[in-house]
Structure 1
């Protein structure tokens, strides 16, 4: 019998140290979600975005995993998907 990812995640979130580490990465996860959303909306593969950026598919995969690189890389990604960056700082 397989265990669902959601069930495992809910169990892990009961652990305070896991939850703290997960929540500390929320900003990176949010950036990753936005990048993937832009690519999907543009109906592009990672390889297609990479070609438009002049980089490798693995570099795009790293950006989409939350291992965010430079602002320059994100700007190139945005242009490749027909988007632009809008930065907003909010109260913590």
Structure 2
């Protein structure tokens, strides 16, 4: 059975895969900041969603790194988690 680190190394050996991976770095950085802010605040996704008047699935999508949330959404997330800002 291949572990995750080995699989990642094999995939990133391909230049096309590496370029795509690096292109998504900003989205993943924002996702990590969202998760870190929520964890620091001691909140669940459901609690953040309630404070933002949205759904838990919307929070999960933001924290997945698949899309770059708008500045307004980032500001609302920061407010909901008691953070000064989220990237």
TM-score, reference length from structure 1: 0.86
Is 2:53 the counterpart of 1:60? no
Larger relative contact order (Cα-Cα within 8 Å, sequence gap ≥ 6): 2
The two structures, once aligned, show a CA RMSD in angstroms of 1.3
Paired residues, number: 86
Q: Aligned equivalents of 2:10 and 2:86: distance in 1?
A: 35
Any stretches of 5+ residues in structure 2 without a counterpart?
none
TM-score, reference length from structure 2: 0.91
Q: CA deviation at 1:86?
A: 6.3
Q: Aligned equivalents of 1:86 and 1:40: distance in 2?
A: 13
Which residue of structure 1 lines up, in the alignment, with residue 4 of structure 2? 5
DSSP 3-state at the match of 2:2: coil
Any stretches of 5+ residues in structure 1 without a counterpart?
88-92
As a proportion of its length, which structure holds more helix?
2
Q: Aligned equivalents of 1:80 and 1:45: distance in 2?
A: 11
Which residue of structure 2 lines up, in the alignment, with residue 32 of structure 1? 31
